[in-house]
Structure 1
């Protein structure tokens, strides 16, 4: 059933750097990571002051208890000891940064979103047995003046192999403008669509719209079972021409998606583009208004797939955000296969709608805290349980990680934080919650001690992103050390994706110089073995 038109817009900050000149007028509005009211601390995004958070047993790590119907909740802490955000599984920022670094350039700081670096890796969190989330909290000391990193890990159950899922109605909106003629753009899109056409079920539906100066419907909404050959023919016939009218493509794509809307199906628009709009309504608000209208009325969400060495990251991210969807980035055939063969099916099989997280810190043990990233996913603390306010859409087998820098009070012991995730059931829209806790007893180990590969990988990706955007995350050991740590994990795990991270950090180190990690270049550690536990 469609969403009600009375639903208010998601209350989030915005961050739209000038990657696409003249495209977006809005600038970065950084919200405090502690959320809610102001902080007396001079550190940007650090919390302070407030009432006591709910208690947790000392040393506690995890929890999955959901509140029972009619259960009375304790009073929450003051806003400056709460952190609230919509869940995010986007990865485009990391993919584009890797592409940029491989070409010998540093990414623009405004295109770097740390949560997308962190969520490009999948820690082995426990999986729930039901359609909700598991909630796992852990952490370790950074070695800097009382600072620790605290990780909040959420995971959904994997895809149900052999079980029925709702059919998918996918409208692909493909950019065929002149800028897509570069190798690694339209050719990669065509390869990706060909892969997907062979993977969809017979009862799924697919439509295809192309756009350059104007938009054209190349295939109306069609059941896959009787049309695989026709789908391949249309995909193979795609060629480039003229300028980039994203507005025409999105408008026509949503027209086709609405006309082919299937009740009870997962209805999604998939935009494949370099997002470099130069004709039509290049002001984002015109396009965003249409996306939000159809999301509310029909529940049609947007999945953005970016390509190209020059890529309108901020624009694509904003489109997907307004469309209650996700973004990713592909630079080669291996990434295309991962997105369209491995990941897109999980976007079709939903586990949660409008998922939000709220982390309550205990002022008795916590002096300051900072959420790493998620600035443009911020939700007002009081809107956490307002189900009219949008959250994130999460599919089967997804993991979501949020990392906090937390400064504990000297000598304090006891509960540190309680994390609660709230979501709506995809079928019934009934709300559910689940919580977990962490206490000082879980923060005794050092971050770089042996046996903490999973947490170290999260920390490496977060510190890496923070460095690229000019941040000052406490405990940052520098790019040289980060590259060595990532190389060591890649050697132990045999993970190709971790080795890619190590290589990207080394490339950044080479471009930024010894001030970002020491006077000597980082060494390459470890030989890769079979298997890839982090992909």
Structure 2
């Protein structure tokens, strides 16, 4: 985007942290170990005019079912509460209580509104709501200048200001990098299952949306296909949602290149709890079980110092690998930077065009000793290895001192992805399917640029991807780093737009990407027309409706200004109609119910 659209990273001020600590000290409830740092002291950014709407919200939080609860491996369970007191809930700020206590003026909502898809047949179009003149809104520069520092006791998150609406006549281009991370969703799920709303700055819309599977048609040739769809918003009658969906080509396990995985395991003292190191070790065993006979595994640990535990070993030598893992125990400081460099030195020895070489970091992200403590310093020390083709996966564990910001930044700059594992169920999803199933990169430095037609679109905003923003001028600069897409990956992005009602082409979606070992990118363009837009939400595909519900829920949870007055009840109803037999979607609907109950309880001052 323009200079005004460059991402805003916000550090957490010690004064805010002190305030949070003082409030926590006044609490009469004692937080269980897994929720330390997530107490009533943790408050959303105060907005006098904002509060998530919850029509007919339940009055008591209903526990969310966790299919992994009966797992034979009890290591996944968070530490039990130290007392029988219920999990503390965040109390709404006075401004939020006032906002939720007042009856908000009812805004006309379009019922049965929808989002559409590429290749719509005859009759796919429909009457489009004409958006009135855009309301006055602060410029991007003004909003960035007002950015406030946020704090989260114990856990560290990077704070990004949600994308604001942009007037198309002033800036018609929206440019961002592909992102297939999912850590934010599984982290938020853990908060909700622990009886707490997630901090606003822990919620990243794109990671909520991309956590779920979508049934996009894979390409018959080439690296990926693009699926476009749009429909009216059920939250605002003047707006529409537009979805850009990408499906990477599928490479079967037997067809993919041999892989060399270097597992870098944090064995410091902070990893001692059952939901950290023990769960991380079980996760590695799951990954090894799903590797091929030509794959190899190495193991490096770091605590007060770095240690080579296992040299490159065939994945078929399960007994040797398990024996090495079973020797690990937690203790000491956290020299993460030194561990990263050692792991990359091992990985680069195998890196080539015919071998997938990847470092997999398993940690709570709490780096506290050694020469390189920040993501920037760590990556600077291994940059030469990254440029030689070594990719990175960061996998987070635990609560109370979790450094989400470090994990996210490492993955973004290390040409990889970031996950968060909160249970054995999630460990199986990440290490059985997502990691081993998508090891092979099929396209790198993948960039998206959507050019909106000012005659057809008054305003637009990208929902999420704030940390993947790219300057418009850098779209065709092949030296600028972007995101990677692995075999079988899907990437989904949603926009909220206000249309003029004219029948022009709405936008052009351009995607630029390099081959896995290439240096020059190829560009493709796809038109978004009225034929891609549905007349109602019911007419949209179930994948589109569900993605819209997920994005809206994330925007509500992070208190995005553009989502002011949106209702979790509306999002839940939209999601319920698109669940089908998908267990993960069913779980999401239950989580919305939990969020509604917690929001209602918070508004009542409980």
TM range (shorter): 0.7 to 0.9
Aligned positions of 1:133-172 closer than 5 A: 133-143=224-234, 144-160=236-252, 162-163=254-255, 165-172=256-263
Aligned positions of 1:129-208 closer than 5 A: 129-143=220-234, 144-160=236-252, 162-163=254-255, 165-208=256-299
How far has the Cα of 1:274 moved from its partner? 1.1
The structure-2 alpha-carbon separation of the partners of 1:488 and 1:309, relative to structure 1 and needing over 3 Å to count, comes to farther
**CA contact 2:363–2:395 (8 Å) conserved in 1:** yes
Residue of structure 2 in register with 1:63 after alignment: none
Question: C-alpha separation between the residues in 2 aligned to 1:509 and 1:158?
Answer: 38
Residue of structure 2 in register with 1:462 after alignment: 551
Residue of structure 1 in register with 2:598 after alignment: 511
TM score, norm. by length of structure 2? 0.71
Q: Indicate whether 1:48 and 2:167 are aligned.
A: yes
Q: Indicate whether 1:424 and 2:514 are aligned.
A: yes
How far has the Cα of 1:278 moved from its partner? 2.5
Structure 2 residue corresponding to 1:313, chosen from 398, 404, 408: 404
The structure-2 alpha-carbon separation of the partners of 1:86 and 1:334, relative to structure 1 and needing over 3 Å to count, comes to same
TM score, norm. by length of structure 1? 0.80
What CA deviation, in whole Å up to 9, does each residue of 1:213-269 have, x standing for no partner? 2111111233334x3321111112221112222222212222322345455311111
- What CA RMSD, in Å, does the superposition of the two structures yield over aligned residues? 2.6
Question: C-alpha separation between the residues in 2 aligned to 1:431 and 1:299?
Answer: 16
Question: C-alpha separation between the residues in 1 aligned to 2:354 and 2:435?
Answer: 18
Tell me the secondary structure at the aligned position of residue 249 of structure 1.
helix
Q: Indicate whether 1:273 and 2:363 are aligned.
A: yes
**CA contact 1:266–1:348 (8 Å) conserved in 2:** yes
Count of matched residue positions in the alignment of Structure 1 and Structure 2: 456
Identify unmatched segments of 5+ residues in structure 2.
19-134, 141-163
**CA contact 1:17–1:110 (8 Å) conserved in 2:** no
**CA contact 2:168–2:460 (8 Å) conserved in 1:** no
Structure 1 residue corresponding to 2:573, chosen from 441, 462, 484: 484
Identify unmatched segments of 5+ residues in structure 1.
1-10, 23-38, 51-77, 520-535
Tell me the secondary structure at the aligned position of residue 166 of structure 2.
coil
How far has the Cα of 1:313 moved from its partner? 1.0
Residue of structure 1 in register with 2:483 after alignment: 392
Residue of structure 2 in register with 1:71 after alignment: none
The structure-2 alpha-carbon separation of the partners of 1:260 and 1:136, relative to structure 1 and needing over 3 Å to count, comes to closer
Residue of structure 2 in register with 1:378 after alignment: 469
**CA contact 1:201–1:224 (8 Å) conserved in 2:** yes
Question: C-alpha separation between the residues in 2 aligned to 1:332 and 1:472?
Answer: 33
Deviant stretches of 4+, over 6 Å = 19-22
Structure 2 residue corresponding to 1:361, chosen from 452, 458, 470: 452
How far has the Cα of 1:285 moved from its partner? 2.6
Residue of structure 1 in register with 2:196 after alignment: 105
Residue of structure 2 in register with 1:36 after alignment: none
